[in-house]
Amino acid sequence: MQNASAACRVACRFLQVLAGLLVLLLLLVSPALGQQDYVGRFDAFGGFTYLDSPHVKLGEKGFHLQTGVRVVSWLSLGLDYSRATGDLTLTPDLLPTALATQLAGEIATCQAVVCSPAGKLSASYVLSVPASSTSQTFAAGPQAAWRHWQHLTLFVRPSAGAIHEVAVPNPAAGDWFAAGVVNTLVPSGTKTNTVLFYGFGGGADVLFTKHWGLRLQADLVRDHLFKDILKDARTTVRISIGPAIQWGGNVAK
């Protein structure tokens, strides 16, 4: 129930962000009606991206690349890639129940007796492990566009692909218990995982010329990375902004 509630909060945040972007775009462009007279066969995008995974309190910043080919004026097929880095803190509430229970027992023992040359754990000790994360996403698929305004294109798409994440735990200096947990769970010092994700996304292009524009977009996806040490799947919102270009034969004719 708690995980479902968190997913609902993320979904609401995604819808708020998307609605805000659309309002901003409508304020930026003149709502000139009529079909766009040029729709290039090919398009590409590159810009800043932010991945927000609130369930694990992870925010990542990076870049986002897209390229596509338009089958008809309203339908494109494309490739999507993003890479972002950020920091999070792993705490017992994020761990599988059996592992969290085991660690709670070990902490209680080390608070009662000496478990290390450094001495006992303090009565107020709380396990937390800071970590750095690098996430890469790979996706491909269709995108549908609505070209009701000459200078504004709205689009929606399914979001499905793979996410590859590299996490490096960095226990605080002097926290011998956390260091021992990391050595047991991540003996190599680096944890990697690749899983599939699914969701949906959308956004808009503000067209300044027939070839160049500004793209604002957002995606809401679901995945479950590191199942062995994270008990829950997570919902991630990706927000991106940057220049977009279209070129090639005019598919609007």
CA–CA separation, 109 vs 184, rounded Å?
A: 18
Query: What's the CA gap between 232 and 55, in Å, rounded?
Result: 9
Convert the pLDDT of each residue in 44-63 to its tens digit: 999 999 999 999 999 999 99
**Measured torsion, CA atoms of residues 75, 77, 79, 80, in degrees rounded to the nearest 10:** 20
- The residue type of 218 is A
Q: Considering the chain, what percentage of its residues have pLDDT values greater than 90?
A: 79
Tell me if residue 144 falls in helix, strand or coil: strand
pLDDT of residue 34: 61
The CATH code belonging to domain 2-250 is: 2.40.160.20
Q: What is the pLDDT of residues 134-170, one digit of tens each?
A: 999 999 999 999 988 888 999 999 999 999 999 999 9
How far apart are the C-alpha atoms of 239 and 126, rounded to whole Å? 33
* pLDDT classification of 12: cutoffs 50, 70, 90: low
Q: Name 233's Cβ contacts closer than 8 Å, sequence gap at least 6.
A: 3, 222, 223, 224
Distance separating alpha carbons of residues 193 and 233, to the nearest angstrom:
13
Q: What are the backbone angles phi and psi of residue 56, rounded to the nearest 5°?
A: -105, 10
Helical ranges in the chain per DSSP H: 2-28, 97-112, 176-185
